[in-house]
Every structure is written in structure tokens, then in C-alpha cells.
A and B are shown apart, each in its own frame.
Chain A
């Protein structure tokens, strides 16, 4: 089979497949009721400033920078939520773990700041843009990982 034939066959695969079971009951059971009130980002910024104090230079400056792509926004939103989760439940993390997290977040945030400075000098710097995304991705992964770590 040549490449064209494979492309054709791939194109014929259905884009939509019905799941074998009705998954809605399992989903509704997990939907949290909506809370009203302040926009999501407002309490997050305050929480971050309180708990991890001064780490996220780029985060605080987020509102001032050009709009990132939808994918990047989702990643940033999730990173913010994870920090909030850590803030809500810090007691279950050992002090040494929190210290290690801070140290490593500082390394990452330094790299993020570096990339942003490069982009501020030259908005078309594709390499700096690529690094910025990569390091932001690592930041998110680290936070997810810390959340998953066993608490003892």
C-alpha cells in the first residue's frame, strides 16, 4: 500500500464512535454544583501570593502580556488550579517537599522569565517561543506530579 492509499483509508475512518455504555450517569455523579461570586482568577492570584510568595513572576504579569493560545491558556488555568489545591491542603505535604517544590519552581520561573524577555525583545523569536511553551509545560507537569505524590 502506498502513502496515498493509507491516507485515503485513514480519511474514511469515522470521526465519531458511540461508546458501548451510557457514561452520563457516571458523569453527573461527579459534577460539582456551580458556585457564584468572584471571577476565577481573582482568588487564585491572592492565594498564590500568600502561599508560594513571589515565585510566579510571570503569573502575576500574565494579565499584562499578549493573549496566549487557547492551549496555553488551558495549561495556565490548570497550573493555577493546582497551586490553589496545594494552598488548600498544604498540611499534608512535608515541609521538605514544599521546599523542594519552591526551589524547582524557581528554576522553572527563571527560565520562563528569560524566554519572555527574549520575546519582548523580538516577538518573532520562534526559538524563544518554543522554549517558553516547553518550560511552561514542565511547570504544569511538575505541579500535577506534586499533587499526585503520596502524602505522609
Chain B
């Protein structure tokens, strides 16, 4: 699984392996798709979890994302790296789902998760939990932009297209999110 930005050489090795898996999955090979799933699920789950601030919801969305990836895979023409394409699709799924008025019935009875996030192992647990919790507590609009911009690396222009807000609004939401985070973490 690719966590941080790899060196160009790493990219080539990863992409070569991926291209083969993608081709096989496009023809219906679910084993190949399973391998793609295992390579990318961590990134997708992190995105869904931070956007939704809800473990159960994030898991549902991860499943929705990969089902959508399977459906759209024949249309993937390789103009971008598969990971990039998948990631954009994941963002679309999460944001598209938000606009649905209907929640699934079982979520009416959802009990608050005792722990909101997994604590990353190699960072001071107290600090990380603080920051993740603070992000989760942001208002949805501000949280969305913060996650997409500061954590996922999208530019405001891209965020504007994906979320349907103006670029200026995206910048304002980011400003607001960072200010609220600094306040919450004890500026």
C-alpha cells in the first residue's frame, strides 16, 4: 500500500503491477480487483473516515466506493494514475452521498462509537487523537475542505468542482477550519 509520496522509481514499479491488475479487473477478474482493494482500502478508508467523522458510516462508504470503482472500471482509460482516479471517485461518492436526504434506517439507531478514530502508531497518541478529534468536530463544510486540501492535496479549483462551491468559498472554509482547529487545540 502506498502511504506517502514515493520516489519516481517506486511509482514505476507500483504502476506496472497495478496496470496489470487493473486490466485483469476490467475484464471481470475479481481476484485482481481484490488485490487492488487491499492496496487502496487504507487510503480510501482514511478519506471516508475523516470526511464523515463516523466509523460505521465510513465503512459503508468504503464499500460503496469499491462497488462504484468496479462499475466504472471499464471506463478507466489510464489518463491519470489508477490511484488518483480511484481517489477522485471516492471523493465523489462521499460528497454525492451527502446530498441524499435519506439515511438507511439502521443509522437511526446508531450509537456513538466509543472511539472515533484509530490512533496512528508512530505519532504521539495524545497529540494525534487530539487533532483527529478536532478535525472530526469541525462543521461539515469546513471539515470537507480541510480534509480535501490539507490532507488529500487537492487545490481549491478542484475542490470547487467536486463540491459545487465557489473557489472563494473553498478558501474561506479552509481559513475557518484552520482557525477553529487552532482554537480547539489551544492556540
Contact = CB atoms under 8 A, between A and B. Distances in A.
Direct contact of A and B (CB under 8 A): yes
Interface of A: 1-3, 6-7, 9-10, 12-21, 23-24, 26-28, 30-34, 40, 69-72, 74-75, 77-78, 130, 133-134, 137-138, 141, 144-145, 148
B80 A70 contact: yes
A15 B1 CA distance: 11
Nearest to A28: B30
Given A17-B49, A71-B161, A1 B187 contact: yes
A14 B178 contact: no
Contacts of A69: 161
Nearest to B181: A6
Nearest to B62: A23
Interface of B: 1, 3-4, 27-28, 30, 33-34, 37-38, 41-43, 45-46, 49, 55, 58-59, 62-63, 66-67, 70-72, 74-75, 79-80, 84-85, 88-89, 92, 96, 99-102, 117-118, 120, 123, 127-128, 131-132, 150-151, 158, 160-162, 164, 166-167, 178, 181-182, 185-187
Contact of A148 (B37, B101, B161, B181): B101
